[in-house]
Amino acid sequence: MGENDKQEPKTISTLNDLFEIVDEEYQTYNVTRLWWRGLSRAHHDLIPKVFRPVNNTNPDLMYRETQIITRFQNRTPARLEKYPDKSDEWLFLAQHYGLPTRLLDWTESAMIGLYFAIRDNKHWDNDGSLWMLNPSKLNKARVDVERILGRLGPHSGPLFGLKEPEEEGHILAISTPHGNLRMLFQQSVFTIHGTTKGLDQFEGSDEYLSKYIVPHSAKANLVLSLKRMGIVESYIFPEIEYLAQELKDDPANYRNITEND
């Protein structure tokens, strides 16, 4: 099992480091599904955006969760071909378009998780982190059900109904519909949070959660290594604008006008 708060976390400096860690985690838990989340800055906690301050300058300025979702529901129908009719679908849609929600993104691919820890070159001076989550063990610890939960069951349903968060509220791993290509390509999965407390801040979280450090000095080389494995921006984000940006930034598409093509 990876290390959490009890010891210094292991580091990931190469893809070989990542592959060894993945093998170790799967051997430890003897399961078929583990989840991964990459963060560009290692000190960030596992807290959904809606429960974090709006900006770094005013820690008391928070989002009005219910108001944001209600206004989103009121103003999007004319923009949609298919109108969501369930509360869980609205949350996934809001998350997809960048609104702050109580959902936290994970992926079933360790390489994609690592990509999110290193992709933002504005933070190449900061160590990143890769988190591993055993989703079934999390649900066992929170509600005594050792499996990934349905989205509108007795435990998860109230959370999708935007029940007011509690200090010791539940955090649950939930089944996820792949409603768009981005979620499909990213192998997206989610935890839903009924508390403002970070997932990594619960006592005993090391039973289902591990943290690994991605040194800042390794990020550039890891980007290149993942590119060689086909993990690039236009794959992770399959929308056309990301492909266009990638083509525009690729030096292979430049030419010197004093030379022949």
Residue 261 — pLDDT band, cuts 50, 70, 90?
low
Residue 2 — pLDDT band, cuts 50, 70, 90?
very low
Residue 260 — pLDDT band, cuts 50, 70, 90?
low
DSSP-H helix ranges across 80-143: 87-96, 110-118, 135-143
E strand or H helix at 191: strand 188-193
Domain of 60?
15-252
- 5 domain-assigned: no
Q: What is the pLDDT of residues 193-235, one digit of tens each?
A: 999 999 999 999 999 999 999 999 999 999 999 999 999 999 9
- 10 domain-assigned: no
CA dist., res. 166 & res. 159, Å (int): 11
- 20 domain-assigned: yes
Q: Which amino acid is at 214?
A: V
* 188-193: strand order across its sheet: 171-174, 188-193, 103-107, 35-39, 128-133, 209-214
- 257 domain-assigned: no
Predicted model pTM: 0.89
**Number of domains observed in the structure of the chain:** 1
Helix then strand then coil, in percent of the chain rounded to 5, is 40, 15, 45
Backbone φ/ψ region at 170: left (φ over 0), alpha (ψ -120 to 50), beta: beta
**What's the average model confidence in pLDDT over 186-191?**
94
Q: What is the pLDDT of residues 109-168, one digit of tens each?
A: 999 999 999 999 999 999 999 999 999 999 999 999 999 998 878 888 888 888 788 878
Q: Which amino acid is at 103?
A: L
CA dist., res. 151 & res. 129, Å (int): 28
- 23 domain-assigned: yes
- 243 domain-assigned: yes
- 259 domain-assigned: no
- 7 domain-assigned: no
Q: What is the pLDDT of residues 137-149, one digit of tens each?
A: 999 999 999 999 9
